Amino acid sequence: MAPITQLSQLDPNGTYSYADYLTWRLEESVELIKGKIMAMSPAPSRRHQTVAGNLFLSLGSHFKHKQCNVYFAPFDVKLYDRRKSLRKDREVFSVVQPDLCVICDKEKLTGQGCDGAPDWIIEILSPGNSRKEVRLKYDLYQESGVTEYWLVFPYEQIVQQFVLDENGKYQLHALYPGNEIVAPYLFPELQIDLNDVFAE
């Protein structure tokens, strides 16, 4: 069977697993959300990359020599319902590449990426992000048990901070404008100056 090298070889209405994903040799970057292919933007904007880089510098400096590790895209994160323990590649139907993620359980780290929910995910929105994509990831991260989730709007210079409550549902913990000092719910000792994050 010929290798999959182009998106046109795949059925856009099909359902695929992580095992399928591993066999593809696509030039484009894709994610799987509940078995459905989600094409990623060809290349992030300069603004997106500036904000991502500034955040990574803050997080990387803080977590250096600590228990938790910081990773940036492209980095595969396999996700599934936290109430289940399906870990075989053919039984996993969601794999995403968050802009930034923090993982404190080293047993989740594999040669390919992360097997299970990171503690904290940060997604930086680009003008091309659709409402559907944003909603799908919000639901997926909630269902998978990602404790803290940040949505960063680089052009509006706003950060939305969501935290799972005791019922496993996201609550909007805070909404930060771009001139404040923010701290993750999970790591309150980490102080991030949004003036630096959004600086050109």
- Domain map (residue ranges) of the chain: 7-39, 46-197
- What length is written for the chain? 200
Query: Is the pLDDT score of 65 beyond 60?
Result: yes
> Hey, which CATH number is domain 46-197, 3.40.50.300, 2.60.40.420, 3.20.20.390, 3.90.1570.10?
3.90.1570.10
Kindly report the pTM of this predicted structure. 0.93
**Alpha-carbon span 193 to 62, nearest angstrom:** 13
Query: Is the pLDDT score of 87 beyond 60?
Result: no
**Alpha-carbon span 29 to 43, nearest angstrom:** 9
Q: How confident is the model at residue 82 (pLDDT cuts 50, 70, 90)?
A: low
Q: Does a cis peptide bond (omega within 30 degrees of 0) precede residue 74? A: yes
For residue 68, give every residue at least 6 positions away whose Cβ sits within 8 Å of its Cβ, in sequence order, or none. Answer: 102, 103, 104, 119, 187
Most confident by average pLDDT, 24-38, 118-132, 137-151: 137-151
Query: Is the pLDDT score of 148 beyond 70?
Result: yes
The pLDDT of residue 143:
94
Query: Is the pLDDT score of 83 beyond 90?
Result: no
* Token pair belonging to 165: 């409550």
**What is the arrangement of strands in the sheet containing 76-79, beginning at the earlier edge strand?**
36-39, 30-33, 94-96, 76-79, 113-115
